[in-house]
Amino acid sequence: MQLTETFYHGTCNLFDKFSLSFLGSGEGKSKFGQGIYITSSYKTAALYAAKAAKANGKRCCYVYTVEVPVLTENNHIFSCKPVNQEVTNRVEKEIGQTIPEEVKSSGKLFRKYLGNLLTGQLGTVKQMMGKADTIAETAVSEFLSNIGIVYLVWPHAQTKPDGDTNRAVLNERDIRVLKIEQVEVDKENKLVEGSEKITSNVTDFAFPRLKKFTTPIKK
């Protein structure tokens, strides 16, 4: 039975399950790769919800409490850490070629290089690591998901890579809505403590009931 943990998603929209068809419509604009963006901090989710509401001309902010698979050494790529060797081996086996060592030094470089490679972009290794368009980002997320990668991960603060994290979930089947709360934010887009009001409790949308991995709720 797979272990799970609790994360949060901020948005200005109401829905009962996540869909990859809405990628790019939120606050993040897929800056850290294509996927469904979640965060370990409730307050950060509220901040993203507020920014999304302003960007889309909406007034309501919602924080979704979600259940996702627990992070393991070989089910993710971390933006500012070297890529796990098992993950590298899986990728190289699938594409039939060796990834340059400098590409493996961080998940961000690895993701961009691989996306460009998958979409037929040409250039030096440095150029291939430098920038990836939406087509390349979509291609690499789909590719990684197909070989068992669940997340793209990056820290809340680049100076604290081992602290709280944000994640992009690559497959919509790996995220399940547990609870939806409408929240209020102040002029600085910060959560107004005590404003949380339950909109919906959702029990079973994305995947079968999994064994719960208990982690403290971070607000």
Q: List the pLDDT tens digit at each of the 219 positions of the chain.
A: 679 999 999 999 999 889 888 765 555 567 899 999 999 999 999 999 999 999 998 999 999 999 999 999 999 999 999 999 999 999 999 999 999 999 999 999 999 999 999 999 989 999 999 999 999 999 999 999 999 999 999 998 888 888 889 999 999 999 999 999 999 999 999 999 999 999 866 544 443 433 433 333 344
Confidence at residue 66, expressed as pLDDT on a 0 to 100 scale: 97
- Residue that the structure tokens 């924080």 belong to: 63
Predicted confidence at residue 213, as pLDDT, reads: 38
**Three-state DSSP state, 120:** coil
Separation in Å, CA 115 to CA 35, 54, 107: 14, 31, 12
Whether residues 55 and 84 fall in one domain: no
Do 110 and 94 lie in one domain? The reply is: yes
Identify whether residues 23 and 63 lie together within a single domain: yes
Q: For residue 174, tell me if it sits in a domain.
A: yes
- The answer to whether residues 15 and 117 belong to one domain is no
Q: Which helix (H) or strand (E) holds 72?
A: none
Q: What are phi and psi of 185, to 5 degrees?
A: -125, 155
155 domain residue, yes or no: no
- Answer whether 88's CB lies under 8 Å from 104's CB: yes
Angle between helices 85-95 and 107-118 (to 10 degrees): 10
Residues 109 and 170 in one domain: no
- The pLDDT of residue 205 is 43
Does the residue 23 lie in any domain?
yes
- What pLDDT does residue 202 have? 55
H helices of the chain, where?
Answer: 42-55, 85-95, 107-118, 125-130, 134-146
Instruction: Answer yes or no: do 135 and 171 share one domain.
Output: no
Residues 90 and 44 in one domain: no
The candidate with the shortest Cα–Cα distance to 76, out of 135, 162, 175, 147, is 147
The verdict on residue 49 lying in a domain is yes
Is-contact 82 76, C-beta < 8 A?
no
Q: Is residue 80 included in any domain, yes or no?
A: yes
**Is 67 domain-assigned?**
yes
Structure tokens at 183: 């929240």
Tally the domains of the chain.
Answer: 2
- Provide the domain limits for residue 49: 3-71+163-208
Alpha-carbon Rg for the chain in angstroms: 18
124 with 142, same domain: the answer is: yes
Q: Is 127 helix (H, G, I), strand (E, B) or coil?
A: helix
Residue 156 belongs to some domain of the structure: no
- Please check whether residues 40 and 57 belong to one and the same domain: yes
Per the DSSP assignment, residues forming a β-bridge with 151 are: 76, 169
81 and 182 assigned to the same domain: no
21 plus 66 within the same structural domain: yes
Q: 46: helix, coil or strand? A: helix
Q: Give domain status of residue 40, yes or no.
A: yes
Last residue within a domain, chosen from 119, 149, 179: 149
What SS3 state is found at 67? strand
Per-residue model confidence (pLDDT) at position 217: 36
For the chain, what's the residue count?
A: 219
Are 121 and 21 in the same domain? Answer: no
pTM exceeds cut of 0.75: yes
